[in-house]
Amino acid sequence: MRGELDPRQALAPSRFVDSDHPDVRDFTESVVGGIRDPRERTGLLFTAVRDRLRYDPYSVTAEPPDYQASAILDGGPTWCVPKAVLLTASLRAAGIPSVLGFSDVRNHLNSAALLELMGTDLFVFHGWSAVYVDGQWRKGSPAFNSELCRRFGVPPLEFDGSQDALLHAADGAGRRHMEYVRERGMFVDLPFDDLMATLLETYGPAMVRGSDTPRPQDPRFRA
């Protein structure tokens, strides 16, 4: 799918990747203002999104507005898909072609509480961003913030578009971490309906909460 995607399609704002929103533009400017090199801009934005929002796998909601980049900015702890949406929007606001990508992964460093709730160690629709730099599409996952990586013994990912930076196959001690099972492709905007249908089919309603439903308190993912 990499060769089929026109980078020119990956610069315009869209429903969820609202890169033209003033808040997204202000955030982008605060991170990369004065920087012109695309790789440096990519690296700065990746790090800012990675660490601005704490990863919380219990934060999945079924409300479309929660998945707009402008709302994600100040929405608090969240999961991989919204973080990828925000990174993609910020990159577009910085003039760098960017799209959303999704994979199914097995996470071998998990918590007992999350495994029980999910009923599996398979994470469907794991979200990441892809950027077009120097004539190549490269993938980067901003999901895990630095503090969480330290907690799980995994070095935080760095990404500037020079090579793929997806989640590690092993942690710092050599134990299995992430295993990529299925590629779902790259998209100009969030395929919201397909995402929600797949989550409900895979996990049932336990993993997709309403906006007013308290999220479980799992010490492995607590600040």
Give the tens place of pLDDT for each residue, 121-172. 899 999 999 999 999 999 999 999 999 888 878 888 999 999 999 876 656 5
* Count of Cβ atoms closer than 10 Å to residue 6 Cβ: 10
> Would you state the pLDDT for residue 150?
86
Vertex 49, ends 111 and 172: CA angle to 5°? 45
- How far apart (Å, rounded) are the C-alpha atoms in residues 122 and 115? 9
For residue 24, how many C-alpha atoms fall within 13 Å in the half-sphere facing its CB? 25
> Would you state the pLDDT for residue 206?
79
Q: What is the pTM for the complete model shown?
A: 0.92
pLDDT tens digits, one per residue of 39-96: 999 999 999 999 999 998 888 999 999 999 999 998 889 999 999 999 999 999 999 9
Is 2-205 in CATH node 3.30.450.20? no
Q: Is the pLDDT of residue 184 over 80?
A: yes
CB contact burial 200-215 (16+ within 10 A = b; e otherwise): eebbeeebbbeeeeee
pLDDT tens digits, one per residue of 200-223: 999 988 788 765 666 666 666 765
pLDDT tens digits, one per residue of 107-120: 766 788 888 888 88
Bridging pattern class, strands 122-133 and 178-187: unpaired
Contact 87, 98 (CB under 8 A): yes
Contact 59, 215 (CB under 8 A): yes
Contact 104, 125 (CB under 8 A): yes
H or E segment to which residue 124 belongs:
strand 122-133
Contact 155, 149 (CB under 8 A): yes
> Would you state the pLDDT for residue 177?
66
> Would you state the pLDDT for residue 3?
45
pLDDT tens digits, one per residue of 2-26: 446 889 999 999 999 999 999 999 9
